[in-house]
Amino acid sequence: MTKLNDQIEDYLRFGQIERGLSENTITAYRQDLTEFLNFLQQEKIDSWPTEAVEIDAFLARQKDLNKASSSISRMISSLRKFYQWLARQNIQKLNPMIEIDSPKKQRRLPVALTQDEMDRLLAAPNVEKKLGLRDRALLEMMYATGMRVSEVINLQLEDVHPDLKLIKVFGKGSKERLVPVSNIALDWLAKYEKEVRESLVLKQGRNTEFVFLNNRGGSLTRQAVWQIIKHYCQLANINKDVTPHTLRHTFATHLLENGADLRVVQEILGHSDISTTQIYTNLTQKHILEVYIETHPRA
């Protein structure tokens, strides 16, 4: 088994030096391959398996251990890349991984806030304080537009068109789209720009076009937005696992619950494939059932 372990280490060094893989990726590969090697030791197999049935036995063991399908998929990917490397190194030509299919990913329903929870979250910032006012404008804008966190932190002044009630958003792959925005969000944004943003720009000492700024006058980071949302969820006594993306999910869910067309929501969110948007219909169907049970006399 020492030889097999050495080959794993050679492969990991190759990934780190030749392919420039990150430390996290190397750690994940090591974990998966070590687990595979431990299985081989338990089964008294002293060479890399050449039959798919032996790989299937390992994967079945993972399922017995209640490993998530995402973890098993990652293991399959790790083994697939490792066997390709073994073949290139002329260590082993037979590759049983070509007969192994990855399990279908379980598509989890996204978390969304109820209307009451969303109202409480929006009301949580203390707007008498400068950063509280900024945070209220930020949360209102995210809920009003369904923007991704990367889109909102990169939003610039010239992208906001209050007269048209539209925002120009640069999404994935630098794709540009126009997104409608509510009067309420625009009002909070105007208040923030007038009462807070100008002083933050002066604090930095140089002009910046980013709309949302930190307390030093620089642009917000993804981590900062995440922390802001977590902080106000605590204040609003919201116990769900809420992330910036949750506000995007909530935006889409509330639109569909109130009768919006799926294609319109797809366009606003910037989804290239409508199947990505359709996951929200599962949430709204659940809502419809809850309303039916609550309101029908014989439900």
118-133 as b/e: b if 16+ CB within 10 A = bebbbebbebeebbeb
Bridge partners of 177, per DSSP, are 169
Token look-up 């990505």 returns 276
Confirm whether 271 is a catalytic residue.
yes
> Which one of 83, 134, 143, 148 is the catalytic residue?
148
For residue 60, give both structure tokens: 């079945």
228-252 as b/e: b if 16+ CB within 10 A = bbeebbeebebeeebbbebbbbbbb
For residue 19, give both structure tokens: 């392919």
> Which one of 81, 271, 286, 287 is the catalytic residue?
271
SS3 sequence, 92-124? CCCCHHHHCCCCCCCCCCCCCCCHHHHHHHHHC
Taking 3-state DSSP, the helix, strand and coil percentages for the chain, each rounded to the nearest 5, stand at 65, 5, 30
> Which one of 81, 177, 245, 287 is the catalytic residue?
245
For residue 233, give both structure tokens: 């969820």
Pairing of β 176-180 and β 160-161: unpaired
Per DSSP, the three-state class of 160 is strand
> Which one of 172, 222, 231, 240 is the catalytic residue?
172
Rounded CA gap, 168 and 85, in Å? Answer: 46
For residue 130, give both structure tokens: 């400068």
Confirm whether 280 is a catalytic residue.
yes
> Which one of 136, 248, 249, 254 is the catalytic residue?
248
Confirm whether 296 is a catalytic residue.
no
For residue 25, give both structure tokens: 């990726």
Q: Residues with catalytic annotation?
A: 148, 172, 245, 248, 271, 280
